[in-house]
Amino acid sequence: MRITHFNNPRLAQAFVDYMATRGVRLRIEHGETYTLLLDDESQAALVENELQQFVRDPLHPRYQDASWQSGNTASGLQYQRSSILANIRERAGPLTMVVMIACVAVYILMQIVGDRTMLYWLAWPASESQYFQVWRWVSHALLHFSLLHIAFNVMWWWYLGGAVEKRLGTGKLVVIALISALLSGWMQAKFSGIWFGGLSGVVYALMGYVWLRGERDPASGVFLERGLMAFAILWLVIGYFGAFGLAIANAAHVTGLLVGLAMAAVDTYKVRK
């Protein structure tokens, strides 16, 4: 008797192992999916009842415990191994990956040729003669000055930018990134001059956008936990008071956050209304 099927082999095996502890023997038939077969149809009602509970909470510890008790290594199931790169690419779209690679490449070049040289090539326009070097209006976002700096920004870019690109499309991520890089860079240049860099203005725009978009339009599929948003605000406050002796681009952070919130408000205006 066919009971159900799973796409995930581990879930299929977990349910089989659990039912074995209840005295029910199920078999797994391999194919495009993993189909569960019951030999004794008189046990169908028990299996169906347990299956409903399993589907509601398949990660409950009792199912893992059952695998330790009754499972074995001779099930024949083949689990596909995944690499770190595969896990990164699973969440990141093409633009997310390109920007991550660009940030790392620029950071490596900064270690080779020096910060001053890379700033000379990529920093915010220093004078009117550089205004037509259009890449400068956004390329400052690729500059990072320490491992902590680049790790923090690239991680958040991957986590938030990847979600936006996967759920809302590459075009939406392009718009958020370009506008936030431009406006946050402009504001930071007003406050501290042109010698700054980092993806954090864009990251804060993504934080604001993803959080508010998730709050107002849950069906969009993007969201940021309120606790993480509170952390972002706390980091803004820490940066404002100059804690830990870090040189933090506060103007870029605040501007990026406001840009992201504004864009999310516009995108969800009709939904909210």
Beta-ladder partners of 79:
none
The residues annotated as belonging to the active site are 200, 253
Rounded Cα–Cα distance for residues 222 and 209 (Å): 9
Rounded Cα–Cα distance for residues 173 and 248 (Å): 24
Rounded Cα–Cα distance for residues 155 and 102 (Å): 14
Tokens of 215: 């709050």
**Pure H helices in 42-169:** 44-56, 61-70, 84-91, 94-113, 115-122, 136-139, 147-156, 162-168
Cα–Cα distances (Å) from 113 to 23, 99, 140, in that order, read 69, 21, 17
What angle separates helix 200-216 from helix 250-267, to the nearest 10 degrees?
30
Q: Say if residues 264 and 212 touch (Cβ distance below 8 Å).
A: yes
